[in-house]
Structure 1
Amino acid sequence: MGSVTLLIIAAATAVSSAQLPQGFSLTQVAEADNARQMAWGSKGTLFVGSRKAGKVHALQDQDGDGVYETRHTVAQGLYLPSGIAFRDDTLYVAAVNRILAFPEVETRLVAPKMEVVYDGLPSDAHHGWKFIRFAPDGRLIVPVGAPCNICNPALPYASILALDLDKGRYEVLAKGVRNSVGFDFHPDSGELYFSDNGRDMMGDDLPPDEINRLVTAGSHFGYPFLHGAKVADPKFKASAGQMAGFEKPLWQLQAHVAPLGIHFYRGEAFPPEYRGALLIAEHGSWNRSSKVGYQVSALMPQADGSWQYRVIIGPWLDGEQPLARPVAFLEHPDGSLLISDDYNGAVYKLTYNGMPTQTADNENNE
């Protein structure tokens, strides 16, 4: 039995075993080797980045059945091309130290033209793969992870940058960010929200992973001195004044769940309580005695301005065996939600079927 066949079977198992809120369904709509970030082309092409595969995929639904069965490899042999974004008929790809552009890519999917539009980023593979997105002001938001588990590197490491591709320069939006592989802009305020993966080797339950909100450009979020709201690093010390100046997380997740993509739901196909919900792809743990994560969760906005944490799908675990590892989200034009899974090389579609939902409250954040 070949590896492709095994992946197809595994993706089917992930779909059939998914624990969903009442009224929702999950289907597989595409295969894409090591599927990571996704983006829509202007002509309806579904582009999918990868990490280990080194490929950028282009998928098309040519018969209108909702399945993207026509596949092209836009590029291959790239350096961890996890992050992609589409703007003005051009596909942009983050390949660690370079930002690549494929202009008019949908007219030449077989042999597209490739341009290097920026090559001034660090080339470290450790936390070097990226999630990218264009900001409302036209700049490309690019995180640069710390090249280590725990260290105190100079900028631009451990930061989130706003890159002006036309001028070839960047602004540091956030400092002290260990490894962000997902972010989104709030639909109303425009503020940047981002995930951050906490350090390893501090035990099963420390430190918490984070969801953060950027209010002021240049803010410092604590790494490597402070993890979560109050976990001081045992190696890197900061003064009380420095510690007080670090931004605290909007929300603390369980240690090692590895939040990657996050997405504010903007559609109208889900029940009203999901409007403005911040969806989180918890990719799943490796540095833990028993696995956690491997699920899709959400921060649900409350009338008083607070958030409620809720598990939407999962966990995708059979004992200690992962069944899927969610990475990123992309809203479908019909209001449903696409979810990439690099473990099975698949893209799933979460759809609401119009039945009443019944969901139990989860524990409040501590």
Structure 2
Amino acid sequence: MKHLTFPGPVAALLLLASCNQGQPATDTPANTPAQTVATPDSAIQPTATAPALPEPYATKSATKRSKVIGWPAGKTPVVPAGFVITEYAGSFNSPRWAYITPNGDVLVAESNTVPTSFKKKVAAKLELDTSKSLKETSANRITLLRDTNKDGKPDVRETFLANLNQPLGMLVLGDYFYVANTDGVVRYAYKAGQTKITGPGQKILELPASGYNNHWTRNLLANADGSKIYVSVGSGSNVGENGMENEQRRANILEINPDGSGEKIYAAGLRNPVGMDWAPGTKTLWTAVNERDELGDDLVPDYLTSVQPGAFYGWPYAYFGPKEDPRRKGERPDLVKKTLVPEVALGPHTASLGLAFYKGQTFPTRYQQGAFVGQHGSWNRSEFSGYKVVFVPFAGGKPAGKMEDFVTGFIANAGEKEVYGRPVGVTTMPDGSLLVLDDAGNKVWRVAASKS
């Protein structure tokens, strides 16, 4: 491709134009609960009460984009007393997600947002995105880390799989390794302990990936007996402004068989459901959802919610229960009425994307069975939101206390918009530690309980 150069003022204008969300649409919806798994409406029960929220446009929609400056030597994020955080591995190219194989290897998906329009290609070429989200190309690989001597630091590092297409979700199921590229799910023959895959893959599921694609990430999760795989697919827009005909099979969690057949929409109306996990001791799926922008500083909160099969969670017509989005007013009162309230509000514009329930034994008892959520940080608030990992205590498979900060220290200087990195994926390790993926800082951090 021929590289283009532009003077500074022109480049800045192009970047601003590339961020324009467009105007709300008035199209007929594509995804509705009628397309989900067959669950009677009477079986879908509210599980939470909506918090008090401000009215739309109570404050103006603001923009505050971070400037990633990287981690100085010796500098780390901050964890609570009783824990220690260390660099598990570094020198990545946007480490976005991690998966632990049955034999304990750590697989790291390296991928990032890439430009899909001329304006964004220009912005990426000129490195105008100081938040390090938009780059000319994506590494498109999965890196394997192995700790052979169990000292909490990997001593084997290999390229496990390359030449992918914005990979994120990973899964070992039976004799197969699955990877969720932005445009589909591919599986490969796999044997436990192998350090790289060289054989051909089989694409078992096509996924929509065209047009606006900031929500390019696709995650994977299997049920307990391995009979079903769940695939998260974010929306293709902020609030359907590009037309709902462009949202087919998006803003959903899909359910498929291990061979890719039998696709159903497990749950709908989830704007960008990236993190998925099962609450310990239950058969209940939970997800962290990155909600919509441009309704003001305090709308709409991202959330953590249980996911009921066949349920509808509002996007784009409503949010946090039957609170109608004014940009889609009067279009689908039937779906507004059906919208479920999420259990946990995670704060507005936090970009809550990572999710891992703690199933280890080495953290203090109060953390066991609770949920860790990686908050990548967003642009649509006058003050920084997110840029941390939060913890939500659980008991009996349900939230049992207020959300609290767990890993902080990513913001270097809020006044100068400077951050060291941006946390996203979180993963629990077999030894009870927690991995935090920092895609802007190009590091994987390890949080462990302090030894007494």
Rounded Cα–Cα distance in structure 1 between residues aligned with 2:427 and 2:399: 25
The residue type equivalent to 1:128 in the other structure is: W
Q: Which residue of structure 1 lines up, in the alignment, with residue 62 of structure 2?
A: none
Whether the 8 Å contact between 1:48 and 1:84 is mirrored in structure 2 is: no
> Aligned-residue CA RMSD in angstroms?
2.4
Change in Cα spacing, 1:35 to 1:167, as seen in structure 2 (3 Å) is closer
User: Residues 119-173 of structure 1: CA distance to partner in whole angstroms, max 9, x if unpaired?
Assistant: 3221233412212111224211101111111103554111101111326221211
Q: Which residue identity does 1:136 align to in structure 2?
A: A
In structure 1, the residue corresponding to 2:341 is in which secondary structure?
coil
Residues 112 and 313 (structure 1 numbering): CA distance in 2 closer, same or farther, change over 3 Å? same
Tell me whether 1:220 sits opposite 2:312 in the alignment: yes
Instruction: Please list every run of 5 or more consecutive structure 1 residues that lacks an aligned counterpart in the other structure.
Output: 1-8, 356-366
Residue 318, structure 1, aligned to residue 412, structure 2: yes
Give the distance between the partners of 1:233 and 1:98, measured in 2 at CA: 31
- Structure 2 counterparts to residues 285-324 of structure 1, below 5 A: 285-301=378-394, 306-319=400-413, 320-324=417-421
Tell whether 2:110 aligns with 1:46: no
Deviation readout 1:275-330 (Å, 9 max, x if unpaired): 11111101111222322111010111368963321111114101221222112122
What is the distance in 1 between the residues matched to 2:418 and 2:175?
41
**Structure 1 pair 132/296, CA: closer, same or farther in 2 (3 Å)?**
same
With over 3 angstroms needed to count, the CA separation of the structure-2 counterparts of 1:305 and 1:281, relative to structure 1, is closer
Cα 1:73/1:302, change in 2 over 3 Å: closer
Is the Cα contact below 8 Å between 2:109 and 2:141 reproduced in 1? yes
Q: Could you tell me whether the CA contact under 8 Å between 2:76 and 2:86 is conserved in 1?
A: no
Q: Which residue in the other structure is 1:150 paired with?
A: 239
Once the two structures are superposed, residues 13-45 of structure 1 have per-residue CA deviations (whole angstroms, 9 ceiling, x without a partner) of 6x7342211110001111232112211223332
Q: Percent identity, aligned pairs only?
A: 27
Kindly provide the amino acid, as one letter, of the partner of residue 16 in structure 1. K
Structure 1 residues 111 and 187: CA distance shift in structure 2, 3 A: closer
**Partner residue of 1:29?**
88
SS in 2 for 1:329: strand
1:117 deviation in Å? 3.6
Deviations 1:22-71 (CA, angstroms, capped at 9, x unpaired): 11000111123211221122333211112222111112224543222432
Provide the residue aligned with 1:192 in structure 2: 285
Against the structure 1 CA distance between its residues 42 and 278, is the aligned structure 2 distance closer, same or farther, given a 3 Å change threshold? closer
Q: Which amino acid aligns with 1:57?
A: T
Q: Which residue in the other structure is 1:332 paired with?
A: 429
CA gap 1:191/1:231 in 2 versus in 1, 3 angstroms: same
1:364 aligned partner: none
How far apart are the structure 1 equivalents of 2:96 and 2:191? 19
Structure 2 CA distance for aligned equivalents of residues 34 and 88 of structure 1:
29
Residue among 326, 348, 353 paired with 1:255:
348
1:93 aligns with 2:192: no
Distance in 1 between the 2:343 and 2:200 partners? 39
Unaligned runs of 5+ in 2: 1-68, 113-138
Residues 76-110 of structure 1: CA deviation (Å, up to 9, x unaligned): 33211022122335321111122122322666535
Q: Do the aligned partners of 2:251 and 2:270 also contact (CA within 8 Å) in 1? A: yes
| Counterpart contact for 2:93–2:439, Cα < 8 Å | yes
Counterpart for residue 52 of structure 2: none
Contact 1:42 1:89 (C-alpha < 8 Å) held by counterparts: no
Alpha-carbon distance change, 105 to 11 in structure 1, aligned in 2, over 3 angstroms: farther
Say which SS state the counterpart of residue 100 (structure 1) adopts: strand
Partner of 1:3: none
Matched, 1:131 2:224: no
Shift of 1:112: 1.8
In 2: Cα distance, 1:76 partner to 1:219 partner: 37
Letter in 1 for 2:442: G
Question: Cα 1:102–1:282, aligned 2, differ >3 Å: closer, same or farther?
Answer: same
Distance (whole Å) between structure 1 residues aligned to residue 204 and residue 180 of structure 2: 10
Q: Alignment partner for residue 112 of structure 1, among 181, 198, 205?
A: 198
Kindly tell me: are residues 60 and 12 of structure 1, through their superposed partners in 2, closer, same or farther at Cα, counting changes over 3 Å?
A: farther
Structure 2 SS opposite 1:193: strand
The whole-number CA distance in structure 2 between the counterparts of 1:86 and 1:178 is 27
Tell me the secondary structure at the aligned position of residue 85 of structure 2. strand
**Kept in 2: contact 1:283–1:294 (CA 8 A):** yes
Q: For residues 41-80 of structure 1, what are the structure 2 equivalents within 5 Å?
A: 41-52=101-112, 53-80=139-166
What code does the residue aligned with 1:341 have?
A: D
Q: Which has the higher contact order (CA 8 A, sep 6+)?
A: 2
- C-alpha separation between the residues in 2 aligned to 1:166 and 1:92? 10
- Residue aligned with 1:132, SS: strand
Structure 1 distance, partners of 2:271, 2:381, is 19
Larger radius of gyration: 2
CA contact (8 A) 1:133 1:141 kept: yes
SS in 2 for 1:273: helix
Counterpart of 2:258, as a letter, is L
Higher strand share: 1
Distance 1:114 1:293, change over 3 A: same
2-side partners of 1:305 and 1:37: how far apart? 24
TM-score (norm 1): 0.86
Q: 2:194, 2:205 → 1: CA distance?
A: 24
Query: In the aligned structure 2, how far is the partner of 1:300 from the partner of 1:43?
Result: 29
Q: Indicate the SS of the match to 2:314.
A: coil
Check 1:39–1:114 CA distance in 2 against 1; reply closer, same or farther (3 A cut).
farther
